[in-house]
Amino acid sequence: MSKQLNFLVIAWSFLVLASIVSLFVGAITISPLGAAKFLLGDSTGLTGTERTIMLELRLPRLITAILVGSSLGVAGVGFQALFRNPLADPYIIGASSGAALGVTIAIVIGWQAAMFGLRTSAIAALLGSLAVVAVVMAIGALSMRSGSLSLLLAGVALSSMINSIVSLLMFWNDEKVIVIFAWLMGSLASNDWQSITSTSLIALVGLAVIWSISRPLDAYLLGDDASQSLGLNLVLFRLLLVAGASIATGAAVSSAGIIGFVGLIAPHMARWTIGPKHFWLVPMSACYGGIILIVADAIARTIVSPTELPVGSITALLGCPFFVGLLLLRSRTSTVLGGAS
């Protein structure tokens, strides 16, 4: 077994362990053995109430955490590669702003819709997110020579404009500010099995697209001339990359709102553990993204129990010092920081 495969197996084992722990912690504590057995399909160790808590609350929440974390981790890999920039994250191209605008408009006009098992806010977020990415791509296509830089600038500019529109909508509809704000803070709660199934399918498409272009991603990081010389059709490749990363981001945003930082730190942690080759980096980032969100959600549910904190604030609050610590440790032990890869 290769070294990378070993690392991957260990990391995914941690994810399973974190999953078990997250199932038995919360406002009501469930025995660890019962939680582990439940994951293996045996619910005899649990009372009726515990079984309901597991089945209706914690398990959907756990799966949402894995789904959202993995999607953000992989989307982070995609966008960092696209912009050849280690600071890029899944929201840089305007996906989060678009999602926020979509949900804000839906709440303001009282839009109700259900499609493929997705809730109104999920559909609005997904549509808003994809619409903005499409506009950014169109602007990028129109300014043909500047490639990924024009995408980055278009995304940043459009995001600023959309954030202003969201603020204005909140200002004019102050009775709905709390509803909008709660969504913007991000939450893993209230995803039912039907919406989880639908979002999983969307997320898997995004993850599969990014993983399937692992080798071209390695080549792309060497520059436009080098990657074209290695047979890469840059227009087609960038389209696939943006589509895959945006679909993964859309799936995450539609499930849990805007959760920052995971898409930035998961790829870096993965790169430091398993190296820069995307064939390994993509599944490792998915794994770390899942672990980060499981842990953040467990903290959000338990730290001031029974009150629940927004998971988005936990990821940023704990993610930042953790990331800075890793950064310092890394720069002390190596001359190479890690680059954009």
φ/ψ of 325, rounded to 5, equals -60, -45
Map residues 221-240 to x or -, x wherever contact with other proteins holds by CB under 8 A.
Answer: xxxxxx-xxxxxx-------
Q: Footprint of other proteins on residues 66-95 (CB under 8 A)?
A: 84
- Write out the H or E segment, with its range, that includes residue 7: helix 3-24
Map residues 275-314 to x or -, x wherever contact with other proteins holds by CB under 8 A.
Answer: xxx-------------------------------------
Map residues 184-213 to x or -, x wherever contact with other proteins holds by CB under 8 A.
Answer: ----------------------------xx
143 contacts other proteins (rule: CB under 8 A): no
CA distances from 12 to 28, 78, 197, 270, 290 (A): 27, 21, 21, 12, 9
Nearer residue to other proteins within complex by CB, 36 or 242? 242
Binds other proteins (CB under 8 A): choice among 161, 178, 303, 339: 339
125 Cα distance to chain centroid: 14
Q: What are 229's two structure tokens?
A: 């010389």
325 Cα distance to chain centroid: 22
Amino acid, res. 164: S
Binds other proteins (CB under 8 A): choice among 108, 139, 239, 340: 340
Nearest CA to 147 out of 86, 85, 95 is that of 85
- CB 103 to other proteins: min, Å: 35
Instruction: Give the count of residues interacting with other proteins (CB under 8 A).
Output: 29
Nearer residue to other proteins within complex by CB, 55 or 221? 221
Give the dihedral sign, CA 221/225/227/228: positive
How far is residue 289's CA from residue 285's CA, in Å, rounded to a whole number? 6
Q: Can you give the binding site for other proteins, defined by CB under 8 A?
A: 84, 212-216, 218-219, 221-226, 228-233, 271, 275-277, 336, 338-341
